[in-house]
Amino acid sequence: MSTATETRNFEAETKQLLDLMIHSLYTNKEIFLRELISNASDALDKLRFSALTEPGLMPEGEELEIRLDVDADARTLTIHDNGIGMSREEVIDNIGSIARSGTQEMLKKLGSQKGAEKMPELIGRFGVGFYSAFMVSDQVVLETRRAGEETSTAWRSEGDGTYTLSDGDRRGPGTSVTLHLKAADEDAGIEDFTNEWALESVVKRYSDFIGYPIRQRVRREKRETDEKGIIKPDGKTTYVVEDKTLNSMKPIWTRAESEVTEEEYNEFYKHITGDWRDPSLHIRFKAEGVSEYESVLFVPNEAPQDLFVWGAEYGLRLYARRVMIMERCDAVLPHFLRFVRGVVDSSDIPLNISRQTLQENRHLTRISKFLAKKVLDTLAKLQSDDEEKYLEFWGRFGRVLKEGVDFDAEHKNRIVPLLMFESSNDPKKLTTLKDYVSRMKEGQNDIYYITGESRSIVANSPLIEAFIKQDYEVLFLTDPVDEFLVTRLMDFEGKTLRSAGKGDLDLSSDEAAEDAKSERKDQEQRYGDLFGLLGKHLEEHVKQVRLSKRLTTSPACLTVDEYDMSPQMERMLRMAGPDAPRQKRILEVNGTHDLVRGLQERFETDKADPLLRDYAELLYGYAMLAEGAEIEDPGPFNKALEGIMMRAV
C-alpha cells in the first residue's frame, strides 16, 4: 500500500474524451448531477445486494443515503454516498480508464469541434458519466473506501491529462465526489450549483425517483416568537441546521401510471441505461394473482452497438420487493426482445437467488412470457395507431424481432403480423403479410417472395418477370436473416409462402393453360436438342437446361428445385465456410426470345458451331449477373464475350 501521492496519466482515449467534455458546447451542463447521483445510487444498490450475503457490510446505525454538501465560500459541491465504494485498483480501472470497446471509433467520429456538440449523448452511450463533472468543475476530488476494507483512496484531477492517487481519510465506506465549481455562467449553461434551490430543482427534475434519500443540510433562519407563535418584531434571530430530503424516493413503477409524467419516465430510463437520449416508448405492467410483479419497460431510440454481438449482455433490472438483485437479468426477457430495457420488481423471488437458478425459476419464466406478450401487443398497437413511429422502430429492431419467428415457437403468432417487407407493390412502402394477402389477385393461391442482396437486384431479376406480367405481387426479402425466416414462416393465413426462384413454376390460368401447354410442348420438341447441347457445354455448372415458364422478356435465368437450397443461402454458407456444399442449378431459357430462335437456326445449320459454346457460357454468366452474383470463373465468360463483341464491330 503506497502512502505517497502517485501521479498517473490518463489513457490517450480518456484524455481525448475529457478534452472534448471540457470544451463541449453542450449547454445542458446540469446533468452532471444526474450522472453522479446515478452512480451513487448504483453504489448503494450494490452494497445492499452484497449485504444480503455479508450482513457485516451494512453501515451500523446509518441509513443508506446520498448527501449533497455545499460550501459556498470555497465554491465546492460534494456528493456523498455510503454505498459499496471502490478499492484503489477499482478507482484506477473505473475512473482512470475507459475500457469500452468502440470508444476509439466514437472519438474518431467526434474528432472535430463541431462534433463536440453531440458529445454528451455519445458519452452517455459509452458509460463515462463521471467525467461530465468536468463540464462544471476546475477540479474533481473523489474519496472512496470499499465496504469491508480499512483504507480509503483519494483521486484528484483537473481534467488536464493526469490524475493523482493518494491515501484518503474517509472514515466509513462509500464515496464522496467533491467538485471545485467553475464560476456560474449563464451562457455556458453553468448555474450556481452552490445555491440550495438550484440544486433542489435539478434533483427534482432528474433524480426524483431514486430509491434512496438525497439529502441536503440546509440552514434555516429562526425568528423569536411570542407564546402565540407570532414573530416578535424586536426578537432575536437564530439559525438551525436541518436535513432536507430533495426527492420523493418513490420508485416509478410503484406510482399510479397517470401520476408519472413522460419526463419522469425519460429520466428514469436514462438512470437505468446510461443512455442520454429519451426512449421511444414506455410500457407499464402490473400483475396480481399467482405471480405478483410490477414492471416498466422501455424501447430505446437507438439500437445499441452490441445488438448483434453474440453473447452480449442483455436483460432487465431485477428487483425483489424494491431491492435490486441484478442489473441485467436475461431470464425475464426472451432473446429476440434483447433491445428492451427496464425494471421488473417481483414479490415472489427470493432475495438471494443465484444466476444459475434464475433460469429455472418458474416465476421468472412466467414473467418472461407475460412481458414478451405485453411488448408484442404494444408494438401491434403502435403499428396500427402510429405507422410512422412503428416504421422507425422496425428500422432499428425489426431484424431482432425476426429472430423470434425462427427461435421462439411460442411467440411466433404474435410476431408474424408485426413483420414488414419490401415488395413489388410499392417501391416506397413496406408491407405486412396481411396487406399482401388483401391485394392477392383472383386465382393467386400463394404468397410469392424472392430473396437477394438488394432491392434493385431482386426487383430486376428475370425470376419474377412472369409474376409482374400477371400482376402478382412479390415480396422482396433482402435481409440475410430472411432466408431463415421464410423456412420457419412457411405459410400465413393458409397461404403458402413460395420462392419465385424455386421449382418448375406455372402461373398460367386454367383457360390459358391448355394453349400454353401445347405451345410449350412444341417448343420443347423444337429446342430439345439445342438445350441438350447447351447443357453439355455447361455440365460443370448446371444440372439441366430447360424451357422456362417464368420468363417473359429476359433470355435466361437460373433456378433451383423446389426443395433445394436458395442461392442466397448457399452463398451465406460458403461465406461461413469454404467446405459448404455446392449445388448445381437449373438454367431456364425463354422459348419466345429471339435469341433462342437465332441459336436454334445456327444449331440447325451447324451443330458443331463453336459459337454455340460461347453462347452457353454467356447465357449462364448473364443469369448469374442478373441475380447479383459474381461470375465464378470470369475467364471463359470474358473470352466468349470478347469473341461476340469482335463479331459485332
Which residues of this chain interact with ligand ADP, rule CB under 6 A?
35, 39-40, 43, 81, 83-86, 94-95, 127-130, 175, 274
Shortest distance (Å) from residue 168 CB to ligand ADP: 13
Q: 322: Cβ–Cβ under 8 A, 6 or more apart, which residues?
A: 211, 251, 254, 345
Radius of gyration of the chain measured on its C-alpha atoms: 34
Q: State which residue, 13 or 483, has the beta carbon closest to ligand ADP.
A: 13
Shortest distance (Å) from residue 123 CB to ligand ADP: 9
CA 45 from chain centre, in angstroms, equals 26
Question: Nearest to residue 380, comparing CAs of 399, 394, 366?
Answer: 394
Distance separating alpha carbons of residues 208 and 202, to the nearest angstrom: 9
Q: State which residue, 123 or 376, has the beta carbon closest to ligand ADP.
A: 123
Q: State which residue, 85 or 404, has the beta carbon closest to ligand ADP.
A: 85
Q: State which residue, 85 or 334, has the beta carbon closest to ligand ADP.
A: 85
Q: State which residue, 24 or 368, has the beta carbon closest to ligand ADP.
A: 24
Q: State which residue, 278 or 387, has the beta carbon closest to ligand ADP.
A: 278
Q: State which residue, 39 or 423, has the beta carbon closest to ligand ADP.
A: 39
Strand order in the sheet with 542-547: 542-547, 585-589, 556-559
Bridge-based pairing of strands 447-451 and 474-477 is parallel
- Dihedral, 332, 333, 338, 342 alpha carbons, nearest 10: -60
Confirm if 169 and 176 have CB atoms less than 8 A apart.
no
Shortest distance (Å) from residue 39 CB to ligand ADP: 3
Q: 500: Cβ–Cβ under 8 A, 6 or more apart, which residues?
A: 448, 449, 450, 461, 463, 464, 467, 474, 550
Q: 263: Cβ–Cβ under 8 A, 6 or more apart, which residues?
A: 205
Alpha helix stretches (DSSP H) within 410-544: 412-415, 433-438, 455-459, 465-469, 482-489, 510-537
Confirm if 26 and 117 have CB atoms less than 8 A apart.
yes
Shortest distance (Å) from residue 641 CB to ligand ADP: 59
Shortest distance (Å) from residue 82 CB to ligand ADP: 10
Shortest distance (Å) from residue 100 CB to ligand ADP: 9
Q: State which residue, 14 or 295, has the beta carbon closest to ligand ADP.
A: 14
Q: Give helix 31-53 / helix 196-207 axis angle, nearest 10°.
A: 60
Shortest distance (Å) from residue 296 CB to ligand ADP: 20
Confirm if 392 and 379 have CB atoms less than 8 A apart.
no
**HSE on the CB side for 172, CA within 13 Å?**
14
Q: Exposed (0-12), middle (13-18) or buried (19+): which is 598, by Cβ within 10 Å? A: exposed
Q: Could you report how far apart the first and last alpha carbons of the chain are, in Å?
A: 87
Shortest distance (Å) from residue 325 CB to ligand ADP: 18
Distance separating alpha carbons of residues 542 and 581, to the nearest angstrom: 14
Q: State which residue, 127 or 213, has the beta carbon closest to ligand ADP.
A: 127
Q: 362: Cβ–Cβ under 8 A, 6 or more apart, which residues?
A: none
Q: State which residue, 128 or 400, has the beta carbon closest to ligand ADP.
A: 128
Shortest distance (Å) from residue 156 CB to ligand ADP: 15
Please state, as a whole number, how many other Cβ atoms lie within 10 Å of the Cβ of residue 347: 13
Shortest distance (Å) from residue 174 CB to ligand ADP: 7
Q: State which residue, 268 or 622, has the beta carbon closest to ligand ADP.
A: 268
* Amino acid at position 585, single letter: R
Shortest distance (Å) from residue 303 CB to ligand ADP: 18
